[in-house]
Amino acid sequence: MEATFLKRAFGIGEGWEYRSTKYVGGGVEVHVKAKREGIRCPKCEADHIALRGTRERRIRTVPIGFKPVTIVAHVPRCQCRQCGEFFDSSPLLPREGDPTLIALNDLLQVSAGS
């Protein structure tokens, strides 16, 4: 699955990198990874960040044909080297158009705060 298809079909583009597509249990899993560029601490705005692993976020989206589709977002877990704050870095997804993308964006933002 190409990055242009992800952009056109699901609105996933800038800030995300396509990793793979897996066919599991009659459905499709599209794995994407958040890019590292531009990560800043939400508390102090510093850009001196240490990566502390990743978290996997599974989001069901619109089906392709009759196959359910799950976006599996691999989101970096970060720590600010200036203030010590831990946070997840999730690039925003577009809010326009599809209600699924709006819900997906809201879910990623709520999950990033926990």
- Predicted local distance difference test score (pLDDT) of residue 89: 78
Helix (H) or strand (E) holding 52: strand 49-64
* Residue whose structure tokens are 């499709």: 28
Q: What is the mean pLDDT of residues 12-22?
A: 83
Per-residue pLDDT tens over the stretch 23-76: 999 999 989 888 877 788 889 988 888 989 988 888 888 888 899 999 898 888
Ordered by start, the domain boundaries in the chain are: 3-65+72-112
Say if pTM beats, i.e. exceeds, 0.75.
no
CA distances to 87, 93, 105 from 11, in Å = 24, 7, 11
26 token code pair: 């009659």
* Residue whose structure tokens are 């066919």: 23
